[in-house]
Amino acid sequence: MDLPTVWFVAIAVLWTGYFVLEGFDFGVGMLLPVLGRGSDADRRVVINAIGPVWDGNEVWLITAVGAMFAAFPAWYAGLLSGFYLPVLLVIVALIGRGVAFEYRGKVDDPRWRARWDAVIVAGSAVPAFTWGLVFANLLRGVELGPDGVVRSGLLDLLNPYALVGGLATLTLFVLHGAVFLALKTDGPVRHRARAAAGAAAPAAGATLFAFLMWTQADHASPATSVVAACAVGALVAGALLVARRREGWAFLATAVAIAATTAVLFGTLFPAVLPSLLDPAYDLTVHGAASAPYTLGILSWIGAFFLPVVVLYQSWSYWVFRRRVTRAHVS
């Protein structure tokens, strides 16, 4: 593969890592009022389950967007201009969620904590839905002119296909988060997490199946069809495994479902990075959006050094904080 294609694949891998890791963070945040309904101790168990890792998981987003800026500046510019409001909404939600994690315990007042808990829920649900909306619109295409300017408005982005994509990622992350909590906690929260996973699985399966089948109907290819089938199969397997109390395998299965869905998105998109609804001749392609070969060469050396460091550090942090969280740890 040439360097532009290599970097397209690298960016797909970075987004996959972000969705797999931050996906369960979003799911945990959305499930906070459900799984933590017993007491504030249970809510602290839910939050502490992701407390040591959630900010590290966001590094994958920063790296993915930074790589897009460096390797495909035209793609970065078109994406940020065409999806300015949704991306801004995601940024505000992520900031609010981070502040809420830090501030909810600063005042010993149930109403104070309840307000910040609501911010955590919203700060998790908004990105979970909006990322699906954005990537579905990337596949569908935007009103991209010959000058590279995206003319699609916010209402154009709220089309039925994109809304189904948003619901698919939202429900998939809820299931992923429930399975993670079943794996990471013990006691009442663990039991509720198993029940939540069972309740979320039908909705996640239905919306993911609808989105992937719609995608294949519009952009059919043998390779992505096989991967789409693997995504749905992994999701079903995850739901069955968590019901049988095999939380580790269940979490691996839902992670595979998310990774396979992301592979379908990028596999369907290639070789375009920003398709045009006005004329296929205006499509922004991998090679048309790429930086100069010299720049991509330098980036390749930087990525070859730093990516293993990030992976090793995160693997170490997950190993250190591998034990289950219980009420005893927050009392």
Each residue's pLDDT tens digit, 126-165: 999 999 999 999 999 888 888 777 887 778 889 999 999 9
Residue 122: what pLDDT? 96
Each residue's pLDDT tens digit, 88-118: 999 999 999 999 998 988 888 889 999 999 9
Confidence of residue 331 (pLDDT cuts 50, 70, 90): low
| Cα dist from 32 to 20, 38, 49, whole Å | 19, 11, 11
Distance of CA 295 to the CA centre of its chain: 28
- Residue 3 parent element (H or E): helix 3-35
Residue 20: what pLDDT? 95
Confidence of residue 329 (pLDDT cuts 50, 70, 90): low
Distance of CA 277 to the CA centre of its chain: 26
Residue 150: what pLDDT? 80
Distance of CA 29 to the CA centre of its chain: 13
- Answer whether residue 276 shows pLDDT above 90: no
In this structure, the chain runs to a length of 331
Q: What are phi and psi of 88, to 5 degrees?
A: -60, -40
Q: Is the dihedral of CA 176, 181, 183, 184 positive or negative?
A: positive
CA distance 127 to 18: 12
Q: For residue 185, what are the β-bridge partners? A: 325
CA distance 242 to 277: 42
Each residue's pLDDT tens digit, 119-135: 999 999 999 999 999 99
Residue 51: what pLDDT? 85
CA distance 73 to 64: 13
**HEC per residue, 118-158:** HHHHHHHHHHHHHHHHHHHHHHHCECECCCCCECCCHHHHC
| Cα dist from 243 to 24, 63, 201, 238, 288, whole Å | 18, 35, 11, 9, 48
Residue 77, phi-psi category: left (phi > 0), alpha (psi -120 to 50), beta (remainder) = alpha
CA distance 151 to 145: 8
Q: Is 184 exposed, middle or buried (0-12, 13-18, 19+ CB in 10 A)?
A: buried
Per DSSP, the three-state class of 274 is: strand
Each residue's pLDDT tens digit, 202-224: 999 999 999 999 999 888 788 88
CA distance 305 to 14: 15
Each residue's pLDDT tens digit, 26-75: 999 999 999 888 688 888 999 999 988 888 898 899 999 999 999 999 88
| Cα dist from 285 to 68, 84, 235, whole Å | 13, 20, 32
**For the chain, how big is the Rg over CA atoms in Å?**
20
